[in-house]
């Protein structure tokens, strides 16, 4: 049975070009890039060429790219690095209510330690309100962290408008704070990640979501931004992230990001057509099914649907058994019970108490015939699960 993989927001397959870059670099360049011998110097040269390529993909300068183990580490570094370096006596931060766990959990940790954290509300589409943001910024706000695109419902936040709002606040405060960080882990395949155009100070990138190797990501840190390393060790990555660089992974990531940005417009249009077709088919065929968020303000590849009275995990497992991979919520939280904080934040919990939300995330491998098949299976299985529920309630 051929599998249909609709969990690309969790992780994408590795592209052939990225895989080739990883394999060839690991074979040819084994030296430690900090070594001053020939092997070290050659490894350094390929590492820096890859850094320049990642920088070019986002219109940054090469020294503004800090490689990390992935988006989780980049988000942690952005928040803890800015808070600890800012020099504000009682720093505050602002995050949106629908951030990924790697932002929410560090924010909560700082909050437990006594720091003021302001959580921005989102509307039913998952969008923040820049007017609420304006009200929340104070002279003590060191950082605003708002994701570019949400990983569960796909909502694209108005990043350029938020950046404008923050620049305005800085001017009014006569301060270089707050900085603006965005988690762009989900944005690399389909959105404009040119840091000059969108106007961010820090931006998280992920390789595993952009058809690159796992275990590598980056944080864009604008020149002049004060950031303290969260780990102790050597002077790697401009003193911002110690540890011997993963040269081969960096090369694969650079290749993947370049490829993703090149394909972005065309591939975005293609998956959006398929995603919209899937939404229409499911909504037409399955009663009490509704889209979470909005298809208008969202990534072209993400569709999140609530099925009233259906348990999300059960549907994920039944779909898996018939060859379809989807997820119930962010895979980082998929073993926790209850609806996700994102579904709760947009005010969408089913009347029966079961949100039953499923995320379908399409990718380069998704074909038109997959859509028809998945819609049919979802229809059949939701009916089956609802009937089983009725029968077990009757016993």
What are the residues binding ligand PMP (CB under 6 A)?
70-72, 75, 100, 102, 147, 151, 183, 185-186, 206, 208, 330, 332
In Å, what is the CA distance from 68 to each residue of 35, 206, 243?
A: 20, 9, 9
In Å, what is the CA distance from 310 to each residue of 58, 254, 321?
A: 41, 41, 17
d(CA 383, CA 131): 43
d(CA 89, CA 83): 10
Minimum CB distance to ligand PMP smaller for 102 or for 304: 102
Minimum Å gap between C-beta 267 and ligand PMP is 18
Give the CA count within 13 Å in the CB-facing half-sphere of 257: 32
Q: Are the beta carbons of 179 and 144 closer than 8 angstroms?
A: yes
Angle between helices 312-321 and 368-394 (to 10 degrees): 130
Minimum Å gap between C-beta 330 and ligand PMP is 5
CA dihedral 157, 161, 166, 170 (to 10 degrees): 170
d(CA 220, CA 241): 12
Minimum CB distance to ligand PMP smaller for 10 or for 130: 10
Minimum Å gap between C-beta 10 and ligand PMP is 6
User: What is residue 12's DSSP assignment?
Assistant: P
Task: Tell me, yes or no, if 251 is annotated catalytic.
Answer: no
Minimum CB distance to ligand PMP smaller for 72 or for 261: 72
Minimum Å gap between C-beta 32 and ligand PMP is 25
Minimum CB distance to ligand PMP smaller for 144 or for 286: 144
Instruction: Considering the candidates 52, 228, 332, 383, report the single residue annotated as catalytic.
Output: 332
Pick from 360, 298, 296, 353: nearest CA to 328: 360
Minimum Å gap between C-beta 183 and ligand PMP is 5
Minimum CB distance to ligand PMP smaller for 260 or for 310: 260
d(CA 57, CA 69): 19
| Catalytic residue set | 332
């Amino acid at each position: 049975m051929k599998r249909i993989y609709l969990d690309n927001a969790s992780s994408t397959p590795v592209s052939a070009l990225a895989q080739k870059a990883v394999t060839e670099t690991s074979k040819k360049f084994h030296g430690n890039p900090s070594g001053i011998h020939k092997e070290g110097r050659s490894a350094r040269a390929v590492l820096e060429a890859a850094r320049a390529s990642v920088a070019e993909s986002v219109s940054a300068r090469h020294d503004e790219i800090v490689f990390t183990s992935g988006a989780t580490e980049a988000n942690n570094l952005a928040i803890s690095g800015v808070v600890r370096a800012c020099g504000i006596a009682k720093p505050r931060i602002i995050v949106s209510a629908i951030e990924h766990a790697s932002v929410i959990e560090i924010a909560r940790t700082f909050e437990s330690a006594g720091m003021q954290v302001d959580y921005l509300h989102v509307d039913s589409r998952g969008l923040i309100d820049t007017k609420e943001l304006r009200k929340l910024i104070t002279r003590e706000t060191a950082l605003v962290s708002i994701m570019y695109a949400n990983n569960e419902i796909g909502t694209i936040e108005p990043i350029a408008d938020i950046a404008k709002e923050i620049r305005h606040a800085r001017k009014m405060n006569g301060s270089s704070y707050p900085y603006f960080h965005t988690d762009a882990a989900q944005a690399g395949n389909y959105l404009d990640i040119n840091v000059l155009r969108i106007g961010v100070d820090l931006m998280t990138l992920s390789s595993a979501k952009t058809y690159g190797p796992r275990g590598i990501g980056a944080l864009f840190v604008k020149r002049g931004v004060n950031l303290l390393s969260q780990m102790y060790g050597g002077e790697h990555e401009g003193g911002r992230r110690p540890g011997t660089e993963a040269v081969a992974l960096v090369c694969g990531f650079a290749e993947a990001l370049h490829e993703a940005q090149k394909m972005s417009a065309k591939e975005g249009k293609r998956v959006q057509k398929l995603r919209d077709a899937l939404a229409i088919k499911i909504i037409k065929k399955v009663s009490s099914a509704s889209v979470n968020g909005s298809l208008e303000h969202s990534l072209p590849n993400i569709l999140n649907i609530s099925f009233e009275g259906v348990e999300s995990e059960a549907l994920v497992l039944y779909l898996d058994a018939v060859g379809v991979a989807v997820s119930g919520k962010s895979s980082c939280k998929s073993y926790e019970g209850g609806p996700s904080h994102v579904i709760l934040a947009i005010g969408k919990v089913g009347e029966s108490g079961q949100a039953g939300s499923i995320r379908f995330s399409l990718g380069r491998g998704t074909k038109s015939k997959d859509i028809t098949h998945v819609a049919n299976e979802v229809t059949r299985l939701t009916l089956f699960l609802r009937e089983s529920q009725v029968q077990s309630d009757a016993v």
